Amino acid sequence: MKIKESPSRKVFMIFNYFLLGFLSLTCLLPLINLFAISFSARSMVDANAVTFWPKGFNTAAYEYILSNKQYFQSFGITIARVVLGWIINLVLIILVAYPLSKDDPRIFRCRKYYTWFFLVTMVFNGGLIPTYLVVSKMHMINSFMALILPEALPMFCVLIMMNFFRGLPKAIEEAALVDGANWFVTMWKIYLPLSKPSLATVSLFVIVNHWNAWFDGLIYMNLPEKYPLMTYLQSVVLKFDVTKITSEQLMLNPHLMEVTGRGIKGALILLCTVPILLVYPFLQKYFVAGVVMGSVKE
């Protein structure tokens, strides 16, 4: 049976669709413009004649980027960072969130003290200079682990997992304990399989955070060849100069004469952005359920 909507509801839905459509266009149109610029001829880009469709189609910008080994080095560092960082983050998030989800003081007597201890870190931190000094004293400058360990336990993700665990029926856990399972087995074989929406949501936050991070690479890495992808992107966007294209590169690829600074930057932004955008469709179906069920219920 179809429920008839009131006129006010219809007006709200129309307004909502228009608003969301407008917001989507404000996000999508700049990417389309970058795409068009990256595939356009130099003369058209310099004349500001490119809007949302390439003019004087060429692939010189992409050929220049893909001929630069620094791009592939930074891409490899970011892939390794995302994979290792995701594993470390997820393990620590689960190991912290599971015991903090136990409300019964007979199970975890000091829960509230640990909860406040972790929550304080969401509001206060040591600041940039103390954090840098800690990383430096641990001899992690120019080290790959400097990109992972300082953000090894994101507390916001812990809260999502903790409240998702608290929303699961306690009778399931009690039945497992009665059958002889210990806490670790209960977490591994019962709670985690039931927590796929929350795990997918947390994984998305962690992966995007590691992929988009650029500032830590800038302050902890003194050598450009150790830059993660977004730090490399930031350095190119701010410092790229077309005059740095060498004569040897021009001899190997005459199309590089068509390269512009805006074309290189647009192509590089797309090459850095598209891979992470491809992750969203695989996790989207879990995202809403994970966020809603993992909302704070304190």
Cβ-Cβ contacts under 8 Å for 114 (sequence gap 6 or more)? 99, 100
Q: Are residues 19 and 77 in the same domain?
A: no
As a whole number, mean pLDDT of residues 151-168 equals 87
The residue ranking higher by pLDDT, 263 or 298, is 263
1 in a structural domain = no
CA 19 to chain CA centroid, Å, is 25
Taking the C-alpha atoms of residue 192 and residue 247, their distance in angstroms, rounded to an integer, is 57
Q: Are residues 23 and 136 in the same domain?
A: no
Where does the pLDDT of residue 294 fall: very low under 50, low under 70, confident under 90, or very high at 90 and above?
A: very low
Is residue 166 within 8 Å of 100, Cβ to Cβ?
no
Summary mean pLDDT of the chain? 82
Is the pLDDT confidence value at 168 over 50?
A: yes
Model pTM score? 0.80
2 in a structural domain = no
Is the pLDDT confidence value at 107 over 70?
A: yes
Where does the pLDDT of residue 289 fall: very low under 50, low under 70, confident under 90, or very high at 90 and above?
A: low
| DSSP code at position 190 | I
Q: Are residues 166 and 246 in the same domain?
A: yes
Q: Are residues 89 and 217 in the same domain?
A: yes
The residue ranking higher by pLDDT, 63 or 5, is 63
As a whole number, mean pLDDT of residues 5-20 equals 84
pLDDT digits (tens, 9 = 90+) for 40-52: 877 777 777 788 8
Its domain, for residue 234, covers 60-295
Q: Are residues 155 and 229 in the same domain?
A: yes
CA trace torsion 79, 81, 82, 88 (10° rounding): 150
Q: Are residues 262 and 291 in the same domain?
A: yes
Number of domains in the chain: 2
Is residue 135 within 8 Å of 146, Cβ to Cβ?
yes
Residues above pLDDT 90, as percent of the chain: 12
